[in-house]
Amino acid sequence: MGRPGAPWRRVVLKISGEALASEAADEVIDGLVVERLAREIAEVRAELGTQIAVVVGAGNIWRGATGSATGMDRTTADYMGMLATVINALALRDALERQGQPTRVQTAIGMSELAEPYIRLRAVRHLEKGRVVIFAAGTGNPFFTTDTAGALRAVEIGAEVLLKGTHGGVDAVYTADPRVDPDARQIAEIQYSEVLDQDLRAMDLTAITLCKENSLPILYFSIMQEGNLRRALAGDRIGTLIH
């Protein structure tokens, strides 16, 4: 049985920076991991015709919260994190282009030599032409996470779902952290208000609230298991649907 409304026509895929790294080789950006993700994105875009935009995080390189915890000015630390997302976006774009998938990077902070500025209508036009669009530099403002950037961009471009691709072995929303609590139960579907009330930490609370206010469903699933992106876009029941 498929998800309500699936398969989706236009989606935003949120990928954390850590998903691009290699724990075994201790590499900040693992070329093989990025290539695998790019191959999956290119294949499902071609097979299903889904318009795919991607928002990338920067946790594999830098976290603004970590910098501020050491005494660094939080605004400066967050801007450093935004710049780190651009590095990840360029790596993913290169991998997608090598798969034959036309791709554009748009940044919330101007850097015309490297990428386009974020322009909503231009992003939509790219998607309509079959290009993948990667949104980098978060929202362009400090104090907001890339989860929130993913929700914001999804609402702005009229995406039908926000795909939260997770890493680290957590493949859905659970009643507790399954890595710590053996009695934690997987949740197949849950309402936004329940996630907020129970403080389940599926995503940044600002992102959850933004999705709730705009009736944007969130599919929370593991991006690290090969084939999961195709299953998600085909409407298979994987992960957790927050709506």
CA torsion sign, 193 to 230 to 36 to 105? negative
The answer to whether residue 143 is domain-embedded is yes
Q: How far apart are CA 139 and CA 81, in angstroms?
A: 11
- Residue 235 in domain: yes
Instruction: Note whether residue 2 is domain-resident.
Output: no
CA distance 196 to 16: 21
Q: Is 243 helix (H, G, I), strand (E, B) or coil?
A: coil
Of 183 and 212, the one with more pLDDT? 212
In this structure, the dihedral spanned by the alpha carbons of residues 45, 145, 161 and 163, taken in order and rounded to 10 degrees, is 50
Asked if residue 4 is part of any domain, the answer here is no
pLDDT at site 108 = 98
What pLDDT does 132 receive? 98
Task: Tell me how far the alpha carbon of residue 55 is from its chain's centroid.
Answer: 5
The mean predicted confidence, pLDDT, of the chain is: 92
In this prediction, residue 5 has a pLDDT band, given cuts at 50, 70 and 90, of low
With cut-offs at 50, 70 and 90, classify the pLDDT of residue 1: very low
Taking alpha carbons only, the member of 67, 45, 30, 63 closest to residue 126 is 45
Residue 194 Cα distances to 105, 173, 198, angstroms: 35, 12, 6
Is the pLDDT confidence value at 148 over 90?
yes
Residue 1 located in a structural domain? no
Whether 3 is in a domain gets the answer no
- pLDDT above 60: residue 2: no
Per residue in 98-140, pLDDT tens? 999 999 999 999 999 999 999 999 999 999 999 999 999 999 9
Q: Are 217 and 163 in contact (CB under 8 A)?
A: no
- Round to whole Å and give the CA distance between 18 and 41: 18
Please give the full DSSP string across 177-235, using - where no structure is assigned: -TTT-TT--EESEE-HHHHHHTT--SS-HHHHHHHHHTT--EEEEESSSTTHHHHHHHT
Count the neighbouring beta carbons within 10 Å of the beta carbon of residue 140. Answer: 16
Q: Answer whether 135's CB lies under 8 Å from 144's CB.
A: no
Structural domain includes residue 49: yes
CATH of the domain at 73: 3.40.1160.10
Between 160 and 202, the more confident residue is: 160
Q: What is the mean pLDDT of residues 31-60?
A: 96
In the chain, what is the straight-line distance between the N-terminal and C-terminal CA atoms, in Å?
Answer: 17
Q: Which of 20-29, 64-73, 229-238 has the highest mean pLDDT?
A: 229-238
Where is 103: in which H helix or E strand?
strand 103-107
Q: What is the mean pLDDT of residues 159-180?
A: 88
Collapsed DSSP state (helix, strand, coil) of residue 51: strand
Query: Rounded to 5, what percent of the chain is helix, strand, coil?
Result: 40, 20, 40
> How many separate domains does the chain show?
1
d(CA 38, CA 44): 10
Share of the chain above pLDDT 90, in %: 76
For residue 5, being part of any structural domain is answered with: no
Q: How confident is the model at residue 200 (pLDDT cuts 50, 70, 90)?
A: confident
Owning domain of residue 158? 10-242
Tell me the pLDDT tens digit for each residue of 51-108.
Answer: 999 999 999 999 887 888 889 999 999 999 999 999 999 999 999 999 999 999 999 9
Band of pLDDT at residue 6, cut at 50, 70 and 90: low
Range in 16-30, 112-126, 155-169 the model is least confident about:
16-30
